[in-house]
Structure 1
């Protein structure tokens, strides 16, 4: 078992203020793989104090100096890529092929996106009235990241902070802390000034809450559940700091009767089940037009029955386990709710797949004939569970798509691109995928309503970490 009980503060690996061991579990076999320390208020105070002090000098570095550091980090990340893949597979349970092609790849894609964005960023411009607008780093940033796409979210927060001249304290998820600690090693090796990046492990109650309420933290960037995001916002309010949130989702996938049914349904199911359903922007609600509904159910059942669950250490496109026992129990509870509320179970159901008595493996599950009053239609499940509902016309499709507290992503498939764009314009979501269009590095990621505040990635992701100052000169 790996000993990872130190924190990275002021460019050094240091012991916690008070010992508090926590075991990191491999979700595929439920065995401990490492022991970390859970931080406390004293550890956050130490890290924030360091970040505040170094901000005075790091904020004055030039864009060119920071670009050199980012380019060096990119080289190091590529060289240590396999290490990152292996760690993500071990602690998250993502199959090794998916870890290599997607999970770890986000560390390269977002870094290149921010490098490109930083080169485009205008930090000083003259307004039409003669005044000068300046963009300056906001200060010390508290960064709280989740377990489901660990490096993706770390990159989307740490990189824009460092790129814009901010300093930061990162609290990664205690479920997947090892990849964050490897990332800290890379930042250290790249030569970033000691103290501009700091890492303290811990949970939300004892560490995240202290970070969000800290008087010397100028900004909080949080990714996680909507409930936790509300708590973070309330905690941050007393010190009037900037808060950006990337929260939950219950994204609709609208399939009109002129779409390529086979392609659309396959894409929806694969996208929903990807990462074992543990993605906030996953299309978890398939909405199908009435005239092709029966055929869609036949295709969906056929496609879903071919999805397999397997050992994450094996290569292939199979699904791995859920991240933890807590997550497994929640998904099982939601599947039971769907059955009890009268949804038609097409595939999957409760319990583990055959042959998986150990590990947090879950049956890929399809529910049909789902109505808007059912829990599985309304609540974020965060597992390989897809609901299928029917709509009559375009207006009802839009109404059903928007019938949610969330607004992160949406998907619209139609052979009539004008209709697809017309529908997209009326959906209250931050991102709309038309006819299978993918999300690309450098594009903004974020949502409406309870799905969050702010955008991550590219130039817009950098701007969230900048303050605006106006210089007024005499006429």
Structure 2
């Protein structure tokens, strides 16, 4: 609690330059659970200066030294695992089992996969008479979202440190508690002063100051496409590298040879996971037009298990904030207005819920591609089911979006699924709901961003390439 109103800069917990506090709301109760300090450009200047000074020595550490550091971080992360899960449970309202088994787990998994990748990573290689060298890019600003706080913090911080970079982290001010716990973990692991710095604050005050700072060499941003455009524009004047993981409206094609009972049920579950607050959630389910009656029956049954009956469902927490709640309510009303068929859920809070930003998990049928609920990112448990006439039209419909973060394909024939998967214009394609793989590259096409995260793909993004010609002479 004592560190919630401080920043971690140059190896110490410090007070902000200009004192300002923000309430943090527990979305399951709508009550204040703590407060954090809000940073300013002056705090950004302090943190960037610390990172810049630390880069001189940290960039020259050996691969083995950085491996040892990451392993220490992992060890202490495991010791504080319950603290991490408790933080996410409080700041997001995530059910505690989900906070442990998905949210906190993801931080551990990214540390493990980054360590594995670093153990085999080649930072230099001879090519004829030239030595190709991969060197740390420099001071990195890491701006992370509220929906998967540990996932996005660790899959940026771990590869940045693995590469030899120094960082300034700005987590979401909506869900900042887990970031404070993570900073305490790095402090306990003995991360050298200035290598990792934490400044809380808003996007306009801290995020934009980091993105435009002349001493920041790279920005890694995860958030909405709208905010990503602002970050890129702020970074443009200093021509710094920008890596972005942005919005999504992922299609889930159920092919005619799929097991419909399993494919539709798991598709509803995947859309509703994390209360629909995932950028790669399969929110558009594309199904054969001649099977819609079966699909709608299965989808209704799958959604029904999430309905509240006087008590909270352990499978579905609240949305993260009042603003997010109101946004999802607007989209549900818009879906009805546009003429989609409401199969499950609908407007308002679930029965028995007067407090908390809980929503009714909602399924729409008879959705057409031009409807807003089929085109815009809702970021809540709202599934749109779109009928298709043939496979070619399904593929065209799936790719007809400004986004390209993820796509899903369901089929009883793996070769059939593979043929469709390779035609998806998305950074990640998932066949028959596989397990989460933190060793696979993650990132988007089109307006879903650029760059890739996870394991060695993340390390590559924090490196510059140098060619030393004549090395072999």
Q: Same fold (TM over 0.5)?
A: yes
> How far apart are residue 444 of structure 1 and its match?
1.0
1:455-470 paired onto structure 2 within 5 Å: 455-470=452-467
5+ residue gaps, structure 2, are none
1:62-81 paired onto structure 2 within 5 Å: 62-81=62-81
Question: What is the root-mean-square deviation of aligned Cα atoms in Å?
Answer: 1.4
> How far apart are residue 439 of structure 1 and its match?
2.8
User: What secondary structure sits across from 1:283 in the alignment?
Assistant: coil
Aligned mates of 1:347, 1:418 — CA distance in 2: 34
1:233-382 paired onto structure 2 within 5 Å: 233-309=232-308, 317-382=314-379
> How far apart are residue 317 of structure 1 and its match?
4.5
1:38-437 paired onto structure 2 within 5 Å: 38-127=38-127, 129-309=128-308, 317-437=314-434
Aligned mates of 1:245, 1:65 — CA distance in 2: 29
Equivalent in 431, 445, 448 of residue 445 of structure 2 = 448
Aligned mates of 1:271, 1:170 — CA distance in 2: 29
Asked if the contact 2:308–2:352 (Cα under 8 Å) also holds between the matched residues in 1, the reply is no
Over residues 35-86 of structure 1, what are the superposed CA-to-partner deviations in whole Å (9 max), with x where a residue is unaligned?
A: 1111000000000001000100000000101111111111111111111111
> How far apart are residue 308 of structure 1 and its match?
3.7
User: What secondary structure sits across from 2:466 in the alignment?
Assistant: strand
Over residues 331-374 of structure 1, what are the superposed CA-to-partner deviations in whole Å (9 max), with x where a residue is unaligned?
A: 00111110101000001111000111111000000000000110
For the structure 1 residues 296 and 356, does the alpha-carbon distance in structure 2 shift closer, same or farther, using more than 3 Å as the test?
same
> How far apart are residue 424 of structure 1 and its match?
1.1
User: What secondary structure sits across from 1:154 in the alignment?
Assistant: helix
Over residues 208-257 of structure 1, what are the superposed CA-to-partner deviations in whole Å (9 max), with x where a residue is unaligned?
A: 00000000000000000000001100110000000000000000110112
Aligned mates of 2:234, 2:68 — CA distance in 1: 36
For the structure 1 residues 348 and 286, does the alpha-carbon distance in structure 2 shift closer, same or farther, using more than 3 Å as the test?
same
Aligned mates of 1:208, 1:441 — CA distance in 2: 26
> How far apart are residue 311 of structure 1 and its match?
11
Asked if the contact 2:260–2:295 (Cα under 8 Å) also holds between the matched residues in 1, the reply is yes
TM-score normalized by the length of structure 2: 0.98
Aligned mates of 1:246, 1:309 — CA distance in 2: 33
User: What secondary structure sits across from 2:68 in the alignment?
Assistant: helix
User: What secondary structure sits across from 1:415 in the alignment?
Assistant: coil
Structure 1 segments of 4+ aligned residues over 6 angstroms from their partners: none
Asked if the contact 2:309–2:351 (Cα under 8 Å) also holds between the matched residues in 1, the reply is no
User: What secondary structure sits across from 2:346 in the alignment?
Assistant: coil
Asked if the contact 1:39–1:202 (Cα under 8 Å) also holds between the matched residues in 2, the reply is yes
Over residues 156-175 of structure 1, what are the superposed CA-to-partner deviations in whole Å (9 max), with x where a residue is unaligned?
A: 11111111110000000001
> How far apart are residue 3 of structure 1 and its match?
6.7
> How far apart are residue 34 of structure 1 and its match?
0.8
> How far apart are residue 441 of structure 1 and its match?
1.6
5+ residue gaps, structure 1, are none
Asked if the contact 1:95–1:311 (Cα under 8 Å) also holds between the matched residues in 2, the reply is no
> How far apart are residue 419 of structure 1 and its match?
2.0
Asked if the contact 2:265–2:302 (Cα under 8 Å) also holds between the matched residues in 1, the reply is yes
Aligned mates of 2:443, 2:266 — CA distance in 1: 21
Count of aligned positions: 472
Aligned mates of 1:167, 1:114 — CA distance in 2: 16
Aligned mates of 1:32, 1:2 — CA distance in 2: 16
> How far apart are residue 455 of structure 1 and its match?
0.5
Indicate the residue corresponding to 2:436 in structure 1.
Answer: 439
Asked if the contact 1:2–1:33 (Cα under 8 Å) also holds between the matched residues in 2, the reply is no
For the structure 1 residues 17 and 376, does the alpha-carbon distance in structure 2 shift closer, same or farther, using more than 3 Å as the test?
same
User: What secondary structure sits across from 2:397 in the alignment?
Assistant: helix
Aligned mates of 1:135, 1:69 — CA distance in 2: 20
Asked if the contact 1:310–1:318 (Cα under 8 Å) also holds between the matched residues in 2, the reply is no
Asked if the contact 1:309–1:320 (Cα under 8 Å) also holds between the matched residues in 2, the reply is no
Asked if the contact 2:310–2:352 (Cα under 8 Å) also holds between the matched residues in 1, the reply is no
Aligned mates of 1:195, 1:311 — CA distance in 2: 50
